[in-house]
Amino acid sequence: MNYTYKQIWLINLPIMVSLLMEQLINLTDSIFLGHVSQIDLGASALAAMYYTAIYMLGFGFSLGAQVVIARRNGEGRHKDVGKVFFQGLFFLSAFAVVVFILFKLFSPALLRMVISSGNVYQATMQYIEWRDYSYLFAFPLLAIRAFFTGTTKTTILTANSVVMVVCNIVFNYLLIFGKAGFPKWGISGAAIGSSLAELVGLLFMIVYMWRHVDKKQYGLRAVFDIKLSLHLLDISVWTMVRSFFCIAPWFLFFVAIEHLGECELAAANVVRSISMLFFVIVNSFATTTISLVSNLIGAKQIEKVMLTCRRVIKLNYIIGIPLMLLAFAFSGVLLRLFINEAAVIHTAFYPFCVMLSTFIISVPAYTYCNTVIGTGNTKIAFIFQMINITIYLVYLFILSRFRNIPLAIYWSAEQLYVIVLFALSLWYLKKNKWQNKNL
């Protein structure tokens, strides 16, 4: 088993498209709402980060399931893949219900404590009260994605993502602006549209699995195995908490920006929305790395792990750097796509430049961090994340103590974050103490 550049690319491409389409759901919300009001544009950033922070708990569990599925696939134990998949599906479905209930009970009070603007708070709640339904569909969908990613059969993820984005664009257009006889719901319409798109995506994947996946080969029978479930949770709990803390600081970042003013908040959301396109490139290759590393270890080819990582990093740069240069060259066009207000565009430009430069170090940082996860050492990855988050939050706190700090300086916190992540992950992999980890 020797993953060539072509094989890595072919495995990664559907994942990249899948993540891109998923991010386009939030991107579509931002573009539409930027033409409704500055307040709705800023509020959607806070609401999206709040929603995503909780979503990442489910995503983290799916990463743990993906690691085990990939390991069983690499070992040739295909019938065990189905058992792992169903334990993940059961857990994520139940977890979705719990999260949905807690969201409904505690979100109003929690957001009221951290958002200072009454207008922004009202708009944020209008979005959240409908967006939280997405958990009921998105979490089971994560289990299905883990199955296809772990077995490296990722092609269908592209089609599913395209369906979701098309649905979201149509729903947003109809519900935000009140077209074709629908009521004009504004920011609430964006949330309803996104939730409906997640439901369509889940139904699409259920039908595909039922009709096209070899149930006998992968042992796809709905059997609950408490011992396997606990084993899966033991591996996944660290990726769950780590994934949550990957996004939670972003929410705190936007809370800090919200106190600077509505213009700064809107500008930060524009930059964040564009940055998600580059995050898709980095994160898709990083997610692919998890499966490749786990499959290599399962096939007893540990010596090829670091070579594969270097190939992943090179492909990352080949795709990302030209796009980064294009984005800088056409920065004005990109920024105006979201909003036409000159003050917001001016405020967003320098943070936009900082964001683009961050991509360079993000590539090896996320590749090596996800290599650690792929080895099964999820607890180590969590510890690195907590060290990183502590440094990140201390840096933000120091910045918040000073007045009139430019938004671009706040954005440098992301650079500090990936530099520390890169140093810790590479240091661990160089120690070679991960090579005998059993799952």
Residue 207, domain member (yes or no):
yes
Q: Containing domain of residue 381, as a range?
A: 5-431
One-letter amino acid for residue 274 of the chain: I
Note the pLDDT tens digit of each residue in 268-316. Answer: 878 877 887 888 888 889 888 888 888 888 777 888 888 999 999 999 9
pLDDT tier at 34 (50, 70, 90 boundaries)? low
Of 27-36, 37-46, 286-295, minimum mean pLDDT range = 27-36
One-letter amino acid for residue 170 of the chain: V
Residue 439, domain member (yes or no):
no
Q: How many angstroms separate the Cα of 216 from the Cα of each of 71, 140, 157, 249?
A: 19, 21, 22, 43
d(CA 226, CA 244): 25
Residue 30, domain member (yes or no):
yes
Record the tokens describing residue 150, joined without a space.
């772990």
CB neighbour list of residue 427: distance below 8 Å, 6 or more residues apart: none
Domain count, the chain: 1
Residue 328, domain member (yes or no):
yes
Residue 438, domain member (yes or no):
no
Residue 437, domain member (yes or no):
no
The terminus-to-terminus CA distance of the chain in angstroms comes to: 20
Share the mean pLDDT of the chain: 85
Note the pLDDT tens digit of each residue in 53-106. Answer: 888 889 889 988 888 888 888 888 888 888 989 999 999 999 999 999 998 999
What's residue 192's pLDDT?
Answer: 93
Residue 122, domain member (yes or no):
yes
d(CA 29, CA 43): 11
pLDDT above 70 for 36: no
Phi, psi angles (nearest 5°) of residue 215: -65, -35
Q: How many angstroms separate the Cα of 429 from the Cα of each of 65, 314, 414, 433?
A: 22, 18, 23, 8
Phi, psi angles (nearest 5°) of residue 355: -60, -45
What's residue 367's pLDDT?
Answer: 93
Nearest CA among 417, 328, 421, 307 for reference residue 373: 421
pLDDT above 90 for 235: no
Residue 436, domain member (yes or no):
no
What's residue 434's pLDDT?
Answer: 60
Return the SS3 of 375: coil
